[in-house]
């Protein structure tokens, strides 16, 4: 269960005829308060070494062994090839030729194993990193995770995890390439000091030439990933607050906001491709230039009788191996990308895990209280000293403010978010002190876009952390809340075979919320997708099924507000007043915050209520 709008940045409310009020609290530099109870303060762990989760695994070990075998065979190949040529020219037999064939077979098998193990290692590492991050999020709880924008969180799990997973192959290949380059220089020196001198004069010049493009590639690649994540985060945040955007007629402005990073992304992309092109061009010239230089020196040595013909092939082979050190540039770029991805995952992998000291939740009627609640989101004050009481056994509608803010109140009421300041209690017990396994029994919720999981319709309706209600109760309440829904095979219909409209999903979400004997029911715009007749039937079912239970219904629908016992009017992060719908309807400002409200002159300021 989740709310689809709690992470959208709240737009600035339009000025209204609200009464004078003290200025909003400034946003503090940090928002690390996690509750009023010191015994429940989260435990902040020591940040892990973020490359270690990516470096383990059996496929990383297979890759290391395969690369080690491939490196050994590659280093032996030039010397063995030279011996085979010299023996062939001298007519000394074919023993070395058979050794050469065996070595080539080993090299082929090792390269094939490495090509298979490298992507498997990265895939397994990405899976482990995502699993570790998700487990950390579950251990930290939804309240801690809610402080992170949902778009940015998705970008980290989908883009940064594969980046961090590049660590193992990149480290293995970097070590192998550097080792081969060093051994190749030593082999050239043993063959003839002039050969290593020719190599060391030419190759470092190429390294100096490509050093600056490599730095630019690293910088542009990191910036490209960050800007891409920023673009994806903005898009997801806009989608989560789409109803507020549509209601406020700010679609064009939101499109401009989401696409604002696009020119910068384009510049970084062109810079990245340009530097990679320059690097490839310089590397393409460096390799033949170095090989020709070493080959010329080796030729003079053969002509002078200091080297044999086979040594010419040895020199050429070790020159190519020495140039493989240029491949380290790409491997080191992968290491840099892995470090950047790991750094972006730090906030997720080090989320504080709450040490829960459960308090017994006494039997109660479901009285919900929010006292002095302050919540900051993305540098803005979303709730500013909110005081609201939902009396037990009553049906209270909450209207006003952007969808993101009202949905934030719903998240606070069901324990999916925690205030930066203030308390949220159920029957006098802070929600933060209630064990998470006990919350679904005490509180049911339904959202505008419910997530329905389970093999069948009955599984989806009965899914939850608390004890599942009997099938007969599920069918009875689902039939009343989901009036008109007729799955092909009834409640045994597979969820995967259903194509549901938004209204049908909402009716199933309502049925799931009503199926439990919870004392408090929180509905976050859970009927916004229903037509008038269906909504009237759903409200009638709600009235019958929630008798004696407490209901907090967040809505923009005048019909829902009219059906409630009382309406709490939320404005600028506080409750402006609490009254019956009929008493509020004459005020044009109140009608303006409801769908279908009629514009009119602003009324005189209403007297603020404490929330009772």
- Tokens at residue 189, please? 């020196």
d(CA 186, CA 171) in angstroms, rounded, equals 23
Q: Are 485 and 452 in contact (CB under 8 A)?
A: no
Residue 429, classed as helix, strand or coil, is strand
Residue 200, classed as helix, strand or coil, is helix
pTM confidence score: 0.57
Give residue 48's pLDDT: 46
Segment (H or E) for 569:
strand 566-571
Residues of the chain with pLDDT under 50: 1-50, 52-54, 464-466, 597-612
pLDDT digits (tens, 9 = 90+) for 50-60: 454 445 678 88
Give residue 472's pLDDT: 61
d(CA 281, CA 286) in angstroms, rounded, equals 9
Give residue 109's pLDDT: 93
Give residue 138's pLDDT: 77
Q: Are 141 and 35 in contact (CB under 8 A)?
A: no
What length is written for the chain? Answer: 612
pLDDT digits (tens, 9 = 90+) for 313-349: 888 888 888 877 666 766 777 777 787 778 778 888 8
């Amino acid at each position: 269960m989740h709310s689809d709008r709690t992470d959208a940045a709240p737009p600035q409310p339009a000025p209204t005829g609200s009464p004078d009020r003290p200025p909003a609290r400034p946003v503090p530099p940090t928002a690390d308060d996690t509750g009023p109870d010191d015994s429940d303060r989260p435990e902040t762990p020591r940040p892990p070494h973020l490359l270690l989760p990516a470096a383990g695994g059996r496929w990383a070990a297979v890759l290391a062994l395969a690369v080690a075998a491939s490196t050994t065979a590659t280093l032996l190949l030039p010397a063995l090839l030279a011996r085979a040529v010299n023996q062939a020219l001298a007519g000394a037999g074919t023993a070395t030729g058979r050794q050469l064939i065996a070595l080539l077979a080993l090299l082929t098998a090792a390269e094939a194993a490495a090509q298979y193990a490298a992507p498997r290692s990265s895939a397994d590492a990405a899976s482990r990193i995502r699993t570790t991050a998700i487990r950390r999020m579950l251990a930290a709880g939804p309240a801690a995770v809610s402080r992170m924008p949902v778009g940015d969180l998705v970008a980290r799990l989908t883009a940064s995890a594969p980046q961090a997973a590049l660590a193992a192959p990149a480290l293995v290949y970097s070590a192998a390439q550097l080792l081969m380059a060093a051994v190749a220089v030593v082999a050239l020196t043993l063959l003839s000091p002039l050969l290593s001198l020719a190599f060391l004069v030419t190759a470092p010049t190429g390294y100096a030439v490509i050093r600056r493009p490599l730095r630019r590639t690293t910088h542009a690649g990191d910036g490209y990933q960050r800007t891409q994540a920023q673009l994806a985060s903005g898009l997801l945040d806009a989608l989560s607050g789409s109803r507020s955007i549509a209601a406020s007629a700010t679609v064009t402005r939101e499109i401009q906001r989401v696409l604002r990073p696009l020119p910068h992304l384009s510049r970084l992309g062109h810079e990245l491709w340009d530097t990679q092109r320059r690097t490839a061009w310089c590397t393409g010239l460096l390799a033949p230039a170095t090989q020709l230089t070493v080959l010329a020196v080796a030729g003079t040595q053969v002509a002078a009788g200091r080297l044999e013909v086979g040594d010419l092939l040895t020199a050429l082979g070790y020159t190519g191996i020495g140039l493989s050190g240029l491949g380290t540039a790409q491997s080191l770029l992968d290491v840099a990308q892995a470090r950047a991805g790991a750094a972006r995952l730090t906030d997720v992998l080090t989320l504080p895990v709450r040490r829960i000291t459960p308090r017994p939740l006494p039997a109660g009627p479901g009285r919900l209280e929010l006292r002095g609640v302050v919540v900051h989101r993305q540098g803005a004050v979303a709730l500013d000293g909110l005081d609201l009481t939902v009396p037990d056994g009553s049906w209270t509608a909450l209207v006003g403010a952007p969808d993101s803010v009202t949905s934030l109140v719903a998240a606070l009421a069901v324990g999916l978010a925690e205030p930066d300041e203030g308390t949220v209690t159920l029957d006098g017990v802070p929600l933060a002190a209630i064990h998470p396994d006990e919350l679904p029994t005490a509180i049911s919720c339904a959202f505008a876009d419910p997530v329905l999981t389970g093999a069948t319709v009955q599984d989806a309706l009965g899914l939850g952390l608390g004890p599942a209600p009997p099938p007969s109760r599920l069918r009875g309440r689902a039939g009343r809340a989901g009036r008109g829904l007729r799955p092909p095979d009834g409640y045994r219909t597979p969820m995967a075979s259903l194509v549901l409209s938004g209204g049908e999903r909402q009716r199933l979400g309502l049925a799931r919320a009503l199926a439990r004997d919870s004392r408090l029911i929180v509905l976050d715009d859970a009927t916004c997708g229903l037509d008038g007749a269906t909504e009237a039937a759903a409200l009638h079912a709600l009235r019958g099924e929630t008798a004696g239970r407490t209901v907090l219904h967040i809505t923009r629908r005048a019909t829902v507000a009219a059906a409630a016992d009382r309406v709490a009017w939320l404005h600028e992060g506080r409750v402006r007043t609490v009254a019956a719908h009929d008493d509020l309807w004459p005020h044009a400002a109140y009608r303006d915050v409801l769908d279908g409200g009629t514009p009119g002159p602003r009324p005189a300021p209403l007297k603020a209520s404490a929330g009772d």
